[in-house]
Amino acid sequence: MDVRVRIDAQGRVVSASPLTKGHSGLETYLAARAVTAAKQWHFEPAREDGKPVVGTEIIHFNFEK
């Protein structure tokens, strides 16, 4: 399950969304859990000319039985 996150200049996740729509109840549930988890992450912000800037990243979540 891939989730695209937008990261602010302080490294906080300001938005997260799954890259694919769930086709089943289970996929929708797992996508929601992945988004919730991604929103709790903190990153080293991207830098441009040595200054922190807004960026995006894709996080891959692997769910196993």
Q: What is the pLDDT along the chain (65 residues), one digit of tens a residue?
A: 999 999 999 999 999 999 987 678 989 999 999 999 999 999 999 999 999 999 999 999 999 87
The pLDDT, as a whole number, for residue 41 is 96
Using H for helix, E for strand and C for coil, what is the string for the chain?
CEEEEEECCCCEEEEEEECCCCCCHHHHHHHHHHHHHHCCCECCCEEECCEEECEEEEEECCCCC
